[in-house]
Structures are given as structure tokens and as C-alpha cells.
Amino acid sequence: MREPTRRDFLLTTGATVLLFPTLTACGPVPGDSAVIGQVPAGTPDELGVGELRVIPGTAGAIARDAGGIYAMSLICTHANCDMTKNGSVSSSEIDCACHGSRFDANGAVLRGPARQPLEHYAVTLDDTGQLIVDGNRVVGASVRLKA
């Protein structure tokens, strides 16, 4: 067996350095979570039918459709990418830039490699009329707050 050359070392090190940022961007980052605890998310009047928006300071979204108001995670179910940082969110779809998964506005998978839909969270109204997303209460994708 031959000794590695300087060229071998540079090629191996260079490939590792180029690959490292891609790998770290896909996994969960310590302290990142879709929604932690109970998070205020505005009032029902601020959310129009057909609107889906990121909840500031989270990797979660709140949305309204004809059935009511719902909230969901924006952490891709394929490799835990935070799609608020590595992707795009619009009123019609959510794209993950890490590996190309695409979800509809209700979190269902439109294109893989993700196979599981996005997780949904309970939404309630507090005494002041503020929407509260409860990241500790996972609900079905069809659950809506009628407001």
C-alpha cells in the first residue's frame, strides 16, 4: 500500500469541506423546533382565507382555509430541515431546499423524498382574542379552529 500524497490529502479534505455545510444544514439544529410551547400568532382578523404565513421566531406556520384556522410545522419530515431557513413558504405550497421535497398548503406531501406529511398543532383563542398555537398538542391535519 502506498503512502497518501499531498494531492490525495487535498482532494479528500476539499471534498469534506465542501460536503460539510450541506450535511449540517439538513439536520436539526440544537434549540430549533417547529413551535415550542404556546406561541401567540396574531388575531383571526389578520389571517385571510387562503393565507399561510410563518409564525415569527418559529419553524411553524399558521393558515386559514374555508374550514377555519390551523397551524403546522415547517420542519421537513425527510431530514428535519427548517424550511423557513432552507426553503420557501407560499399560500399554495411549501418547498424544502435541502432535498427537494414539496408540501401543499395543508402539509401533505406533493413530492418526495419526504414521505410523511407535516405535523399539525392545536390552535385556540385566548381571552383577548389572540390566536395561540400550542406546539405541545399535535392534532390531525383536518382539525380547524372555527373563528
pTM, two decimals, is 0.77
pLDDT digits (tens, 9 = 90+) for 103-120: 999 999 999 999 999 999
Of 2, 13, 29, 39, give the one whose Cα is nearest residue 121.
39
pLDDT digits (tens, 9 = 90+) for 63-100: 999 999 999 999 999 999 999 999 999 999 999 999 99
Q: CB neighbours (10 Å) of residue 76?
A: 29
Give the CATH fold of the 1-147 domain: Rieske Iron-sulfur Protein (2.102.10)
User: Residue 54: phi, psi to the nearest 5?
Assistant: -70, 140
- On the 0-12 / 13-18 / 19+ scale of CB atoms within 10 A, 139 is middle
The string of DSSP codes covering 22-90 is: HHHHHSPPTT--S--SEEE---GGGS-TT-EEEPTTSSEEEEEETTEEEEEE-B-TTT--BTTTSEEE-
